[in-house]
Structure 1
Amino acid sequence: MNHRKQKKFSRRLFAAIPEGDTTCVKALLRAGADPERADSEGTTPLYEASVNGEAAIARLLLAAGAAPDTESSGLGAEGTPLCAAACWGHTEAVRELLAHGADPNLREDHGTGWSPLRWANQGPHPETVALLLAAGAIPHDGTT
């Protein structure tokens, strides 16, 4: 697929995610949209879905090949999808990411930042904390 068409698909994909438009996301993925293609700032579609709590869209992106632990670098959208979902207490998105192999102990900022558990505790989002602990998240004294 040519670069111009991929760019157009990517723009449409990023517009559909915060709207929760699963029909549009399905159609774009079927047409060949790259589920891993970051926007011009470095934000990945999976991060965008996760931070917005769009669990159904996260599931579609993961099924289409989005890696669950790819870190975004977009301005104000840095980090892993799991940290993003945990930060806002989007439990269903956390559940989808974990079901597709997201590492519950992977810290953002290339391993130097906060863990998903720390973000969930900061919320506080006790249901998300419980889900992460059940998935094997390891608490660290003072730096969960």
Structure 2
Amino acid sequence: MNRRKHKKLSRRLVDAALVGDLPRVRSALRAGAPAETADPAGSTPLYVASVNGAADIVRVLLATGARPDTESGIGSEGTPLCGAACWGHTETVRVLLEHGADPNLREDHGTGWAPLDWASKGPYPETVELLVTAGARPRD
């Protein structure tokens, strides 16, 4: 795939994930958009779907090659698990954990908050419980 087409399909996939349009996500993937991609701002489709609690889209992206711990954005976003935990999207957190997301991975390349930090600030007790059960440890 040439660079221009890759860029166009990546943007199409991120935009579809952002608005929660599962049929458009599937269409972009069928057209060749890689699940592990980002738009020009560095936003990944998995991150934007996670922040919005779109567990169905998160499942599809993970099943087609998106990595659960890829950090999104250029310094202003974070990991999909942090994004989902921040808003208490328990089902999305569950899906990410089932696909190997690290419950202790801090965003900002290891210097920022972890998913448990975000969920605890919510407060989202069901999400906190799920993360602790998955092995998340409180900040030292």
Question: Could you say which TM-score interval applies, normalised by the shorter chain?
Answer: over 0.9
The Cα shift of 1:75 comes to 6.2
Q: TM-score, structure 1 length as denominator?
A: 0.91
In structure 1, C-alpha distance between the alignment counterparts of 2:75 and 2:111, rounded to whole Å: 18
Which structure carries more strand by proportion?
Answer: 1
Q: Does 1:48 align with 2:48?
A: yes
In structure 2, C-alpha distance between the alignment counterparts of 1:33 and 1:125, rounded to whole Å: 34
The Cα shift of 1:18 comes to 2.7
| One-letter amino acid of the counterpart of residue 129, structure 2 | A
In structure 1, C-alpha distance between the alignment counterparts of 2:52 and 2:88, rounded to whole Å: 10
Structure-2 residue corresponding to 1:26: 26
Structure-2 residue corresponding to 1:114: 113
Query: Which runs of 5 or more residues in structure 2 are unaligned?
Result: none
Equivalent residues in 2 for 1:124-135 (5 A)?
Answer: 124-135=123-134
Structure-2 residue corresponding to 1:65: 65
Structure-1 residue corresponding to 2:4: 4
Equivalent residues in 2 for 1:86-125 (5 A)?
Answer: 86-125=85-124
Q: Does 1:35 align with 2:19?
A: no
Query: Which runs of 5 or more residues in structure 1 are unaligned?
Result: none
Sequence identity percentage: 68
Structure-2 residue corresponding to 1:79: 78
| Greater than 3 Å deviation, 4+ residue runs | none
RMSD, matched Cα: 1.3
The Cα shift of 1:49 comes to 0.7
Structure-2 residue corresponding to 1:140: 139
The Cα shift of 1:44 comes to 1.1
